[in-house]
Chains A and B, each alone.
Chain A
């Protein structure tokens, strides 16, 4: 079997397992998994830029929140139905990421991290400032009755799970395909050695720009899906915390791996879930687990598996 065929089997197999899990899991875990899938979609978007292109953005929450507000406000204020509102969320995130890319990509390295962080803070503060519409840090709830798609109630747990799985699968297969294409290979080239890539005749700036836009749009898609599926939109999702989460998920799962974002998001979600059941000081346990992982599995869970046993993992 070729590497491409193997990765197709891996991705479709993973989706099949998730379908089965969705059908057999109790409602509590089904709801958790739906949330994890949407957050993993966000991490997949982040991974396009961080894991594959080698650009560390510390402001991705603004893209997630742009999708969330774009979609949520369209439904909340303008009474749009789900599908056009999702489109609005994607368009908002794409537009914002294009503007941020053009400005932030004038910098590199640490300066790029700081500039993205500052843009995200500006976005966060703007969301608070425009509280009249956004509800500020209290946010707003999207009415249950509006969260219907083609006759299906997205508030119903199983429907919501499959909607989340659909969003995740599209992002997973899209990025996996993209990284097999010449475009994705060139992004990896930029990550590994930018100057070499330029001197092979590739327009590095254009590739980085597209990477930011693709990454931001996928992240925004996750934000829009979050608004529709869980019915809440708030400024917390634009805060710096939500810029750090995808970084942790991707680092834990394995940067530059296709399934790492899901593994990382799931691991962290259940780690917090489990630890907070044991003690109020659950962040201590989470922190210790993160330290151990960075010490002994520096490439992340999937990254380490790839390094040690399964070199073809995409």
Chain B
């Protein structure tokens, strides 16, 4: 069953086609990684899916409905959650307040449970901006998870996380799998290979390849464009 589909999705900046006629589909319950070199259009693509960036052309379908014309906050209410590439938390509010805003409720046990999923429950009263960078990333992930979305979009979630924290992150994402569909932009190939059911490789705004981790690893085009180093 298809949860998310894009048809001919395109974004043009000036003369540059940052995302170029992308047909993409995502099955419910899947963990899908979006990889590609810098500037491949990954963030622009998920920006158009979530509604942050208006599409120049093409359509976005979510749960069988055309949501192309809906503003971002309505798409989020319909079951998407989005974590930013550059950490976007409420730096001057407490962790509790951050998660409470994500949950839309100040129910204490629920907020603490959401924080506990990333191991931050004991810091609920702390000011978010005072956390170490890695912990801020984890808080942002906790806010995404707290929304209990159908589709969780993570833009480079493990950037700046320590090895041990990445372990915890992988564990968290696996625990969500099945209920939550996950679209993951990620540069850390170990994380991608460990988590993803399917991988799409973007290059210069187009889909270069799509397949299982093993297929992608074996694909020579992908190796040339992106994985060459590994």
**In the bound complex, do residue B73 and residue A201 qualify as a contact, i.e. CB atoms below 8 Å apart?**
yes
B89-97, B116-124, B175-183, B217-225 - the one binding chain A? B89-97
Bound: A192/B90 CA distance, A:
6
**In the bound complex, do residue B76 and residue A197 qualify as a contact, i.e. CB atoms below 8 Å apart?**
no
**In the bound complex, do residue B76 and residue A200 qualify as a contact, i.e. CB atoms below 8 Å apart?**
yes
**In the bound complex, do residue A193 and residue B50 qualify as a contact, i.e. CB atoms below 8 Å apart?**
no
A68 close to B (CB within 8 Å)? no
B61 close to A (CB within 8 Å)? no
**In the bound complex, do residue B100 and residue A185 qualify as a contact, i.e. CB atoms below 8 Å apart?**
yes
A199 close to B (CB within 8 Å)? yes
Given A196-B84, A199-B52, answer yes or no on A189-B76 (Cβ-Cβ < 8 Å).
no
Bound: A157/B94 CA distance, A:
45
Partner of A182, one of B74, B76, B84, B104: B104
Bound: A188/B97 CA distance, A:
10
Central interface residue in A192, A193, A197, A200, by most chain B CB within 10 Å: A200
Within 8 A of A (CB), among B66-107: 72-74, 76-77, 82, 84, 88-93, 97, 100-102, 104-106
Partner of B77, one of A192, A195, A201: A201
Residues of B within 8 A of A193 (CB): 88-91
B143 close to A (CB within 8 Å)? yes
**In the bound complex, do residue B76 and residue A199 qualify as a contact, i.e. CB atoms below 8 Å apart?**
yes
A156 close to B (CB within 8 Å)? no
Bound: A18/B41 CA distance, A:
61
**In the bound complex, do residue B93 and residue A201 qualify as a contact, i.e. CB atoms below 8 Å apart?**
no
Within 8 A of B (CB), among A198-220: 198-204
Residues of A within 8 A of B73 (CB): 198-199, 201-204
Residues of A within 8 A of B76 (CB): 198-201
B147 close to A (CB within 8 Å)? yes
Residues of A within 8 A of B102 (CB): 200
Residues of A within 8 A of B143 (CB): 200
Q: How many residues of chain A have a CB within 8 Å of chain B?
A: 17
Bound: A202/B100 CA distance, A:
13
**In the bound complex, do residue A199 and residue B104 qualify as a contact, i.e. CB atoms below 8 Å apart?**
no
Bound: A262/B100 CA distance, A:
30
B137 to chain A, nearest CB (A): 14
Residues of A within 8 A of B91 (CB): 192-193
A301 close to B (CB within 8 Å)? no
Bound: A95/B82 CA distance, A:
37
A186 close to B (CB within 8 Å)? yes
A186 to chain B, nearest CB (A): 7
Within 8 A of A (CB), among B103-117: 104-106
Scan A64-88; emit 1 where CB is below 8 A from any B CB, else 0.
0000000000000000000000000
**In the bound complex, do residue B88 and residue A185 qualify as a contact, i.e. CB atoms below 8 Å apart?**
no
Within 8 A of A (CB), among B148-175: none
Partner of B101, one of A195, A197, A203, A204: A197
Bound: A196/B92 CA distance, A:
13
Bound: A204/B1 CA distance, A:
33
B37 to chain A, nearest CB (A): 26
Bound: A203/B84 CA distance, A:
18
Residues of B within 8 A of A195 (CB): 52, 84, 88
Closest 7 CB pairs of A and B: A201-B76, A192-B90, A201-B77, A196-B88, A199-B82, A189-B101, A201-B73
Residues of B at under 8 Å CB distance from A? 50, 52, 72-74, 76-77, 82, 84, 88-93, 97, 100-102, 104-106, 143, 147
- Could you give 7 example pairs across A and B, Cβ below 8 Å? A182-B104, A192-B90, A193-B89, A196-B84, A199-B52, A199-B73, A199-B88
Residues of A at under 8 Å CB distance from B? 182, 185-186, 188-189, 192-193, 195-204
Since A185-B101, A196-B88 are in contact, a sample of 8 more A-B pairs with Cβ atoms closer than 8 Å, ordered by chain A residue number, is A196-B89, A196-B90, A197-B101, A199-B50, A199-B84, A200-B76, A200-B102, A201-B76
